[in-house]
Amino acid sequence: MPHVRKQRERNALLVGLCIEACYDNPLFHEEDSRYPQDDLVRHGMGPTGGNGTPGEKGSRAKDYHVTTELPPSDVRFKKSFTSRQRSVVKIVAIVVIVVLVALLIGLLVHFLGAGTREKEEVPDKQPNVLFLSTTFRGRLRVVEGPFSIYKHDYSNMESEAYTLFSDAFLYKMKLVFQSSKYSVEYSHTEIESIMSGSVIVIFTLKFSPAISVTSNSEHFILSLLKRRMDGDLFTTDINSVTIHAQPITLTTTPAATSGQCSAITLPTCQNATTYHNTMYPNLLGHVSEHQAMTALSTYGELFTFPCYDYSSDFWCSAWAPECHGGRNIPPCRDYCEDVRKSCDGHYPSNFSWPVRCSALPVSSDPAVCRQNPYTPGKCIKVTDPMLEGCVHLGFTETAFPNYAGNIGETSSADMLMLLGTIESATMCSSHATYFACAAFVPKCSGSDVVGQHTIPPCKSLCEGVKSRCSIFMEIFHSPWPSSLNCSTFPDVNDTSVCMGYSQAHEPPKIEDCKKGDMRCDNNTCIPPSWICDGFLDCADKADEMHCASCSDEQYQCRPVSALCIEKAAVCDGITDCFEDVEEQGCVKLGEGTSSGVVHVHNAVSGIWEEVCADGWNITFSELVCKQLGYQYAVSYINKAQTPGRAKATLHNSPHNSSDPNVLQSFLTKSSTCPSNQVVNVRCGRPVCGTRPANYKSATRIVAGKEVEPGTWPFMVSLHGGPAERFFCGGTLISETWVLTAGHCLGGTTSPGGITLKIGATRRETYSEFRQVRKPKSLHVHAGYDPQTVDNDIALIELATPVFFNDYVRPICLPKWEHRTPVGTRCYATGWGKANESAMEYQRAIQEVNLDVVNWESCRQAIANSDIYTPYKLTPNMLCAGGGVGHDACSGDSGGPLLCPADSKRTAWYVAGVVSWGVGCAVPNIPGVYTDVPLYLDWIRNVTGNQLHI
């Protein structure tokens, strides 16, 4: 059998040489051709060879040339022969005779060897066709990007949220299959349902005509989705994707044939151009639709690569040229050059530009060649279905380029979808979509007096959306377009000049409070449980006024009891309330111009008083520093007092029955300071992990519910934009460093759009303990991979240090090589949503008890879960939880897993950073955290060893 195979290969080679000699011989030509005779096609992009592989030599069609008098397939001989031509004919005849002899020899060998064939090696067979199918049913899980958070409205097909998700998903699926080997058969995708956890999509892939399903088909489509179902809007868990074919009966569609006009059936070009009929051979030399489709499965990325808005139209005019007047119409030379200028060099490395632009016609006649659809400044009707939202807002006609430099609807739709999705996910600006329409699909206007032109967005609208939303665009790895410069736009209340002025200048909306809530500070809503609880949540103090149990001259010992004491007894060093609550938070170091100046709180006047330097010594400095949570005092100096500020003066011994370990025991209120100097103290090395304001009281709610101010003084909340929209948690590890998750910072490099709030348990209300800081620098781990979420850790350096007190303290870092033991009872804390279907983050910090679990057991639990797993567990990850209703959830990202540093649970360390999970609180499936002990070297290097690790 091998001998027969070799003989057949030799025969095929001789035939191939003969055909190649004929087609490459000068005896063959097209009469009256209008264009050069040089090839329009480079090797590798032509029709398939004898074995079906594009670009290999074998039986091939004559290279494609355009004529006006004759169809491209009409090839003739010259009428007279020269002696040279007669010689060539003889050579051809000899070659044909040799071929015939070789075929006879091959047949003899074939029949003579038939008796021994069964013992010879059998060639590999193609996979057997199992059945025919037009439907593949699948599931996948979206785990990152603006569509990764489940919305309740996804269950309503009429909702705006469902429409936005559906449009984006179906559009992405179309791009996935356009450049695949099933690009011919792929028809469309239908979404069956969208479920929570993060976001699970049940969908159906439709193919027409039916495809032959082999043992490899499902695997191929599965691999295709894993490789390509990814990007700015969707990051898909590759392990969650499943595909199953459903057998049906085959239906067929007639294929286009050479030399005849027929309907376009190439899926990438069908209904994608202004014409509907084509003819072969095409510009690439394919003589049939089958050859064109075969090449398309390899080179389909030419159509989908985002380098030029009209590149798909151009390649359609090359692959399936318009059939007009019995011949096909190639693209014009300048159209080819426009696409080449933008795309050549940007395609994958295995692609080379396949068309010789110089061989194409130059004409303005559409009957000669296809013009570039892009006409700068020309008003056109908005037709892309993805821009339907803009049409509803009145943007029915537009012109390109738009104000971001895009020259077509495709790229404009992508930007509109991105900004609209970010608006929906973060509520960064209620006018983001309107601005996107005005910038990317600008309204076209014009008259007899004023020519056609587009109306830009107003400067104030552009600046408002940019300031509020650009930080989230960076986090999602899609920064604000560099060419979209707000300062170039006009800003007047006239829609004939610019769009969106009234939207930009409308007064802020005052949202309705929930039933039973109290409104204060104009637009702050306070739940009933926060009224008269001893903590100020309103800057105007409305929530703690008129609390019936105590008079205005009294202080209530909340949150531990309802006891009333005189305000003069507060911060005097003598215990009057249970757990000394009135003696907490009495001393602080000043900020700004009074940085480091010792202050004591006067409860009667409600102000902070500077401490007079008279009689001060290092002992009092040590006392202050230890009271504030530091180990020792570095130094102190005397400095000039602030004029007009009330003073507290020292006396030599503490008051009777007072605590000698707090500064207020040694102070007396005074309006004078003989030296006119106050004390400035520098403290060194903070005590970490302690919670002095964590009161053991029956009023405190735990076990997965709200905790009160001071419970976890290490917590930090991250907010984005000028509206300070909450988006992640963090943990304070020193005066100037915050630990968080890598995915919380994502692709952002500029710290200016982020605000950090430390010391406030309640997220959206006023707090007298809150310290607000801006970042100085952002540091995402160099090994962080958004596809696997490995090394999901980051550090934020603060522009100015925080000052420690009872409500702001640093957490301890774990000891070197200290892996948290399995079974350790820890806490996860954060403002995350109560469950997967919740629409809002929690108002106050929630805490939940979790046990650290075995890594291998965690890996198996995730792998065996019925819910799709977003990522694979790596050795850099730690697992905790798994109990019913106990877990971190969306919004807890970046927050800590806090574990006890001693047996009495009086100090705590950060064992993990909230990273990801399979849903929220799914029974028997733990949550996943970045294992902090493995990153101590990295933390030390980034912080310059400032943390005494």
Taking Cα atoms as reference points, which of 511, 498, 517, 537 lies closest to residue 427?
Answer: 511
Q: Is 893 a catalytic residue?
A: yes
Residue 186 main-chain phi, psi, to 5 deg: -60, 130
Tokens linked to 104: 């006879």
Residue 568 main-chain phi, psi, to 5 deg: -65, -20
Round to whole Å and give the CA distance between 836 and 152.
9
Tokens linked to 307: 């380098």
Q: Which residues contact 79 (CB under 8 A, 6 or more apart)?
A: none
Q: How many CB atoms lie within 10 A of CB 682?
A: 14
Which of 743, 779, 781, 886 is labelled catalytic? 743
Beta strand spans in 253-379 (E): 262-263, 277-278, 322-324, 327-329
Q: Is 792 a catalytic residue?
A: yes
In sequence order, the β-bridge partners of residue 78 are none
Long-range contacts of 259-262 (CB under 8 A, 24+ apart): 259/71, 259/73, 261/323, 261/326, 262/289, 262/323
Tokens linked to 783: 């090994």
Tokens linked to 82: 């020269």
Give the 3-state secondary structure of residue 191.
Answer: strand
Q: Is 420:433 a contact under the CB 8 Å cutoff?
A: yes
Dihedral (CA of 859, 863, 864, 870) sign: positive
Q: Which residues contact 627 (CB under 8 A, 6 or more apart)?
A: 587, 661, 662, 663
Which of 311, 893, 915, 931 is labelled catalytic? 893
Q: How many CB atoms lie within 10 A of CB 659?
A: 17
The upper half-sphere exposure of residue 245, i.e. CA atoms within 13 Å in the direction of its Cβ, equals 23
Beginning with the edge strand found earlier in the chain, give each strand of the sheet holding 846-851 in spatial order. 846-851, 825-830, 896-900, 908-916, 927-931, 877-880
Round to whole Å and give the CA distance between 144 and 148.
5
Q: Is 894:924 a contact under the CB 8 Å cutoff?
A: no
Q: Which amino acid is at 273?
A: T
Q: Is 491 a catalytic residue?
A: no
Angle at 119 between CA 116 and CA 120, to 5 degrees: 90
The upper half-sphere exposure of residue 514, i.e. CA atoms within 13 Å in the direction of its Cβ, equals 7
Round to whole Å and give the CA distance between 604 and 554.
9
Dihedral (CA of 313, 314, 318, 324) sign: positive
Report in angstroms the alpha-carbon separations of 60 from 18, 186, 247, 700, 736. 12, 28, 36, 83, 71
Helices (H) and strands (E) in the chain, counts: 17, 37
Round to whole Å and give the CA distance between 759 and 804.
9
Q: Is 887:917 a contact under the CB 8 Å cutoff?
A: yes
Which of 792, 806, 892, 931 is labelled catalytic? 792
Give the 3-state secondary structure of residue 240.
Answer: helix
Round to whole Å and give the CA distance between 678 and 599.
9
Q: To the nearest 10°, the Cα dihedral for 612, 613, 618, 620? A: -10
* DSSP conformation letters of 734-755: SSSEEEE-HHHHTT---GGGEE
* Structural element, H or E, at residue 598: strand 598-602
Residues noted as catalytic: 743, 792, 893
